[in-house]
């Protein structure tokens, strides 16, 4: 079965009720495998199912991300692949660090062999189930590497795979790659899981890569009970290996499949839904559908034209301030979406200047902070002594007199004897590294300390052992002694990690109430967290993120910024129709994040690589049906570079207006002004307003100023209006009159 779920159509509810229906129909929960792309989505689905059928049944479903479910299977079957049960899962930072070390050991230039680029090549190979040997034998792949000036990439891949294996470590891609190896090389394992999982459900099927596709196809081959849910119009992860062909060709894999279309959008206004439909209709590769909504008509999509990227930042921040003041919205109702993270600067600066709090998604996450990674490295090494990356990170932190010279000697010996660093440290006679006796004594102390933690792995719960490690290594003491604001914050972050471990340790397994939630169990959970699982939804801040990061989210007010050719669509996506269609799907995703209003914005000039460049508005702006757009006269009368004409985009809801006027809304109520050419409050009036002044506002009526803060031109007034309550207004835009 394939369910094509349009944007905002409630696909999570469909999956939830299908699982509940299966269980109510007598299907054993243990026979259901449900795969998602974030732990957050899996948790939400499990909670919903619990409400319908009860906690016990819901807890028995195999539900989670592809990576978490197959990590669980790999831990159960690890002996077949000759991996330790407590194998380490390397994150991207660990992988790039190891690749950087390998590049250095090969004597290669890391400006040519950039660790990030090499990691990307290795990742793409694994997602296509190409191992190191196959990689080096593939003349086409090796030819690409040679042409790019990186002919040694295959050898680096081989060395990386060998080092990971020696360290008892898998990276994220290995969790899928090794699962495919397991199912390929051990028919009895494939047979067992094919019969165990009688019903497969897959969320966001359009985002699956070849490795994920093959696992699903193999596991579902016996029972043929495969239900996939997705939207081809939201397939935007081609750069990560996602293959839209998986969803487009589903009918070829399962010829007798049933197709269901969820076409009603419950999220957005009619204008937003119809505008998004008019854009995505330009794509050739798609499954035909007509998304519709019974929601209200809504405001037209507004097009802003700014003279520069800094002007664009000011336009967005001022617009947010006004909408918030006039509509009583929260900061968390707003999102600023851009094509690349580097675009955030002008918006951050503008928001800070008028004290609007914001949160950047995709920035440094909690688990990537140095102090957290330091403590986690102690946990990793305690569970797996072969984890070289963890050992190198903390062997001399806090300082214990084991310096770079010692580490270099250990590394050379480990490479010579093809063993992990721990083996060289622990067996100095078997693997001589010419370490002085005094230093070997310090190494022995470190070894004993780690082994004492290892001996308690199965005896203590995650929190108790985690706290002991934090204290006995001196890490807590080191952080506590730093009384700078940064030091205090780092110490508090460690406390927050321990709090999370306490919550984890206190959890009860209903099938085995006496089981201890151990440190290795906690480490698996942490290693498999994704960016989308770490966000605090309770913070009232404006959200800023790339459009890729926004998928699955929704906001009342969405600003889609930087809509210029070569920026969005990206210059790197213009070499083929397939790439351009993915960029158009990305634009579709951006528009459909909006519930109430979508605002499109572009700049006429923008600094790129330190040079001021003229910009041409994005082709996607023209692809929005003009009847759903409002273009203020300032944008119409002064067409930007290359003479693109937007005069046809006058909206049927509006008559042409004077620059700076407030566009009307349905019902004749004023719409929040978003034109960046707003007429300011009269300067004389602005200077005369004081705390206690009686003022009048065009919408809120008469009120009293109870607080003035900030300096001109960004002075803000807190005003109490008897009819509307307390409002905070930016004086230069508020158009207040003294009574």
- Please name which of 91, 70, 98 lies closest in space to residue 161, comparing C-alpha atoms: 98
- Please name which of 171, 148, 253 lies closest in space to residue 210, comparing C-alpha atoms: 253
Distance (Å, rounded) from C-alpha 629 to C-alpha 277? Answer: 13
Peptide bond into 215 cis (omega under 30): no
Element (H, E) at 556: strand 555-560
- Please name which of 86, 105, 98 lies closest in space to residue 122, comparing C-alpha atoms: 98
Q: Any residues with CB less than 8 A from the CB of 283 and at least 6 apart, and which?
A: 233, 581, 584, 585
Q: DSSP string spanning 316-334?
A: HHHHHHHHHHHH---GGGE
Distances in whole angstroms, Cα of residue 415 to Cα of each of 51, 103, 431, 536, 538: 55, 14, 11, 43, 49
Length of the chain (residues): 739
402 contacts 443 by C-beta, under 8 angstroms: yes
CB-count burial class (<10 Å; 0-12, 13-18, 19+) for 256? exposed
Distance (Å, rounded) from C-alpha 705 to C-alpha 91? Answer: 53
Q: Which residues are catalytic?
A: 11-12, 203-204, 234, 593
Q: DSSP string spanning 127-195?
A: HTT--HHHHHH-HHHHHHHHHTT-TTHHHHHHHHHHHHHHTTEEEHHHHHHHHHHHHHH-HHHHHHHHH
Q: Alpha-carbon torsion 319, 322, 328, 332, what sign?
A: positive
Task: Decide: helix, strand or coil at residue 243.
Answer: coil
Beta strands in 572-700 (DSSP E): 594-603, 605-608, 611-614, 629-630, 694-697
Distance (Å, rounded) from C-alpha 12 to C-alpha 53? Answer: 16
Distance (Å, rounded) from C-alpha 359 to C-alpha 550? Answer: 13
Pure H helices in 186-269 = 187-196, 210-219, 245-248, 250-253
Distances in whole angstroms, Cα of residue 391 to Cα of each of 155, 167, 407, 421, 590: 25, 10, 10, 8, 43
Beta strands in 615-654 (DSSP E): 629-630
């Amino acid at each position: 079965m394939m369910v094509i779920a349009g944007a905002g159509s409630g696909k999570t509810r469909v999956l939830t009720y299908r699982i509940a229906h299966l269980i109510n129909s007598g299907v054993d929960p243990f026979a259901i495998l449900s795969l998602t792309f974030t732990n957050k989505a899996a948790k939400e689905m499990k909670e919903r199912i619990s409400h319908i059928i009860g906690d016990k049944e819901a807890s028995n479903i195999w539900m989670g991300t592809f990576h978490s479910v197959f990590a669980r299977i790999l831990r159960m079957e690890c002996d077949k692949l000759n991996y330790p049960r407590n194998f380490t899962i390397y994150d991207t930072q660990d992988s790039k660090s190891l690749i950087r070390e390998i590049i250095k050991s090969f004597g290669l230039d890391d400006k040519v062999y950039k660790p990030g680029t090499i990691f990307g090549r290795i990742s793409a190979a694994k997602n296509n189930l190409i191992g190191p040997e196959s990689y080096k034998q593939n003349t086409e792949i090796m030819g690409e590497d040679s042409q790019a000036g990186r002919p040694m990439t295959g050898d680096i891949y081989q060395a990386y795979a060998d080092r990971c294996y020696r360290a008892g470590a898998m990276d994220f891609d290995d969790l899928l790659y090794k699962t495919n190896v397991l199912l390929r090389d051990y028919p009895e394992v494939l047979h067992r899981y094919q019969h165990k999982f009688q019903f497969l459900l897959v969320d966001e099927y359009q985002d699956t890569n070849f490795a994920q596709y093959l696992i699903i196809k193999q596991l579902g081959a016996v029972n043929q009970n495969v239900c996939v849910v997705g939207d081809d119009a939201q397939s935007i992860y081609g750069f990560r290996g996602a293959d839209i062909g998986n969803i487009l060709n589903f009918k070829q894999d399962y010829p007798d499949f049933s197709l269901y279309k969820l076409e009603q959008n419950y999220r957005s206004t009619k204008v937003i839904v119809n505008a998004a439909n008019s854009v995505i209709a330009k794509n050739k590769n798609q499954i035909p559908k007509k998304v519709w909504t019974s929601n209200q008509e809504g405001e037209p999509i507004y097009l802003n034209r700014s003279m520069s990227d800094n002007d664009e930042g000011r336009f967005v921040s001022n617009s947010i301030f006004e909408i918030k003041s006039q509509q009583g919205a929260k900061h968390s109702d707003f999102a600023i979406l851009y094509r690349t993270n580097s675009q955030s600067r002008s918006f951050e600066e503008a928001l800070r200047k008028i004290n609007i709090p914001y949160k950047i998604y995709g920035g440094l996450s909690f688990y990537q902070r140095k102090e957290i990674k330091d403590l986690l490295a102690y946990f990793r090494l305690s569970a797996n002594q072969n984890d070289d990356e963890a050992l190198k990170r903390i062997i001399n932190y806090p300082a214990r007199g084991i310096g770079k010279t010692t580490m270099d000697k250990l590394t050379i010996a480990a490479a010579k004897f093809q063993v992990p660093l721990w083996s060289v440290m622990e067996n100095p006679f078997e693997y001589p590294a010419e370490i002085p006796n005094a230093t070997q004594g310090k190494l022995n102390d470190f070894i004993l300390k780690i082994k004492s933690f290892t001996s308690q792995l199965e005896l203590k719960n995650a929190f108790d052992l985690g706290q002991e490690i934090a204290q006995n290594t001196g890490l807590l003491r080191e952080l506590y002694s730093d009384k700078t604001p940064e030091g205090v914050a780092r110490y508090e972050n460690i406390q927050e990690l321990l709090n999370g471990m306490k919550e984890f340790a206190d959890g009860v397994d209903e099938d085995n109430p006496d089981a201890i939630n151990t440190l290795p169990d906690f480490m698996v959970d942490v290693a498999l967290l994704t960016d989308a699982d770490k966000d605090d939804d309770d913070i009232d801040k404006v959200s800023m993120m790339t459009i890729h990061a926004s998928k699955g989210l929704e906001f009342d007010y969405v600003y889609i910024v930087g809509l210029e050719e070569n920026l969005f669509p990206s210059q790197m996506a213009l070499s083929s129709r397939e790439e351009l269609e993915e960029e158009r799907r990305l634009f579709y995703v951006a528009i459909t994040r909006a519930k109430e209003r979508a605002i499109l914005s572009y700049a006429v000039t923008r600094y790129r690589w330190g040079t001021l460049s003229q910009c041409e508005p994005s082709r996607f702006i023209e692809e929005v049906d003009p009847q759903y757009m409002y273009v203020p006269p300032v944008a119409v009368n002064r067409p930007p570079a290359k003479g693109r004409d937007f005069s046809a985009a006058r909206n049927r809801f509006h008559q042409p207006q004077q620059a700076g006027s407030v566009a009307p809304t349905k019902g004749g109520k004023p719409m929040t002004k978003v034109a960046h050419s707003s007429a300011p409050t009269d300067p004389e009036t602005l200077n005369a307003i004081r705390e206690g002044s009686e003022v009048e506002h065009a919408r809120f009526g008469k009120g009293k100023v109870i607080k003035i803060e900030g300096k001109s031109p960004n002075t803000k007034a807190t005003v109490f209006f008897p009819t509307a309550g307390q409002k905070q207004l930016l004086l230069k835009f508020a158009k207040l009159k003294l009574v």
